[in-house]
Every structure is written in C-alpha cells, then in structure tokens.
Structure 1
C-alpha cells in the first residue's frame, strides 16, 4: 500500500480503536463482578434486555409485513414510503423522541385520545421505552428483510401458487423460509440498536430508575456518581456490539471468514 494511503489509514484505525482499548484498560476488572451484579446495574441490564426484546418483537410483527409491502406490492409511491421508513436512520434520536411525544403524549394527536378513552399513557413508562426503541430500530429490520425479499427467487412462490396454495400459506411455507437469513440478520441488528438507544428513550420515556433507566441512560447517570459502574455498563454494551458485528460480518460488511 502506498505510504500516502497507509499513514491516514493507520491514523483512522487508531482514532476508532484506541478509545475502545482505553476503556478496556480503565475497566475495574477486579470489581467487575460486584459492579455487574449491583442493584443499579442489574436493574438497568434487566430492563434493557426486556425492553430491547419486546421492541424487537414489535418490529418483527410490523416490520416484516412492511418490508413485504415495499418489496412485492404494486402500491404507488413505494419510493416515497421507503424513504419515510428509513428516516429514523438519519433522524437525530432526540428529534424522534420529540416526534413521539407530539403524537403519543397525553396532549399528542393520538396520545390524547388514548388517555381520555382508555386511560393509556405511554410517555415516561416502560412501555414508552419499548415504543421509543422500536421507532429507531425498525428500519434496520425492514431494510434487511426487504433486501432478502428482493433477492429471493420468486419462482418457488409461483410454483406454490400453481399447486393451489393460498397467498398466506405460500408466504408462511415458502417465502419466510427462503428469506430466513435476512430476517435473522435484521432481527439481531434491530435488537442491538434497540439495546443501545439513548436519545429517543430519555426524551419520550424519561429517566426513572427501575422503570425507564436502560443501560445507555444508566451510563450517562453513572458518569457523575459512579464512574466504575459507567465503565462496566459501557463494556457490556461494547461486547454486545462486537458480538453482533462479528456474527453478521459476512452479511453486512462483506468480509470473508
């Protein structure tokens, strides 16, 4: 490699890797167990895992049909719909939280009626955490599944239709198995994104220990009061991110084994 490329490449690598190494060096390994199983850290871990999993389930229920709509339907304006679906990818998470408040808050367009008619209030609740995480994570699932649907061989579905299978049966028995790798990849990325969400969560759900304080929020709080706990939580999130990227390396980064 030419020196003119090697030098900035090494500097860029150091810029991205050295902070992570520094965090690992500063990790209080001797007290890692006590920190990890402390009440505050334990609550944040459990809440994060539960909310991220529920948000992923919500994304699967809504995102897979949405991906099918974008990939296979003849609906006019699919390009515009696809652009709208991907907006949360580039939208600042805090802005996403504000948008959720304006729609689902007690005085929001929909939230006002939910509160008046059914007594349901989503902001500043655990359910609000799930909604905020699903909002920012669903595009990852939709993009992955739509790509899998576009790449799938439609001849198998046509063959199933000629044999008398209904559309729903064909989707369950032919389409879903053929796009399973894409669904799995999108699900894992969706879960990881939900686990690391901060801006939309703190804006829409607040920061209440044991109820809405997820790991990213706990890191933010602990930096001022308990840096050791902040480092432990950060290392946990780092490990999750590394595991996700390594497991999906060939599919999303295009690397080779």
Structure 2
C-alpha cells in the first residue's frame, strides 16, 4: 500500500497576504508533530538560496528549516530529512538542479517510504509526470522534462481563466489543450492560487475554497473544491 503524503500548493501567496500566511493552515496540520524539514530552494533564481531559506523559515517559525544547499552531501540530507519542502520559482532551474545533483530518485524513494513532501508552484509542478505544463520560461535546459512522477498526470499551478483585455496571446486553457493534443492519454489538473492537491496514502483531494480544472484529451471539466480525485491515481 502506498505511504505517500504529498501536499501540492498552487502558490506561496494568495492576493496581498503575507508569504505562506494562507497556507499555514494546510502546512502545519499536514506536518503534524514534525519539527524539522529540509528546504530545497533550487527554483530561486533572482533570490539567493540563503535568503530564500531564511524567508521560508521566517514564514514557518514552528518548523526548523534547513536549506539543502548548506549540506556537503544533499543526498544524505534528503535521506535524513523528517520532511521535504520545495519552494516555487523557475521550474526549469529547479529540475535542472535536482537532476544535476542526482536527487530525483532519492526524493522519490523517501516520499514512497512515507516522508512528507510539501511543494508550492514549481515545487508542485515537479510532482507530476513532467514539467511540460509549467507556466515558466525555459531559462535553463534540464537533462529531460521528466519529473518526480509522484502523480500519474500533469499539474498546472497558478491556473487562471483570466485574459487581459486586448491581449491576443493564447489563454492558459489553450496552452494546456496543446499539450493534450500531443498527449491525449495524460490528464492535466489546473489548481488555482489558494488551492492545492493533497495526496494522503491512496487518497487524492483538491483542497481549498476554489474549484479546479481537469483537461483530458479534448475535454475540459471543472472540479469542485474539496472533491476527491483518487480515480486519477
């Protein structure tokens, strides 16, 4: 039986709220009695990894946060972690660093054995089969687009139906539909800011107050908040 416990948040903030403020009500109960976590800041590009780690520590004073970049052996840090937290930023840089440091299988094995994983934005993106449905620019080329595959489908964090007036570029839905044309057997779940996906053992739920969207081949359906999505596993 699967022991995976994975919390995948769409974003680090909701509106003008403080960093992670809206998500603490999800993060702290998820961690339960865990008091320390390894933070992976590799998605950070314009912010130093030290500063990024400090920012997360400030937002989560209840947990002792250690940046993985401060360890001589990042694999050993993952092996000894009580929990793994992966922040947002640029998904391509995040995946590049994880692949370059040989951490993909290490993280997967720890999560498979029950180590809690929390990600937001890019940190959620990599939980899917690949990063092909990220919103980010490919500022660096990873070894491949294949990600952690903690879920057997794709995720699109920060999903939005909004299209600025006068903007003639493709909408988010149209971009995802392009993926579905070329990958008709792989669903894509869009999660809006303030919401997330919770995988707890063998149960998957859309959490938060907002609905989500699922794209499957040529079909698109709304997902009601707090819907169970275990059938996608």
TM-score computed with the length of structure 1 as normaliser:
0.24
Q: 1 or 2, which has the higher strand percentage?
A: 2
Computing the radius of gyration over CA atoms, which structure comes out larger, 1 or 2? 1
TM-score computed with the length of structure 2 as normaliser:
0.26
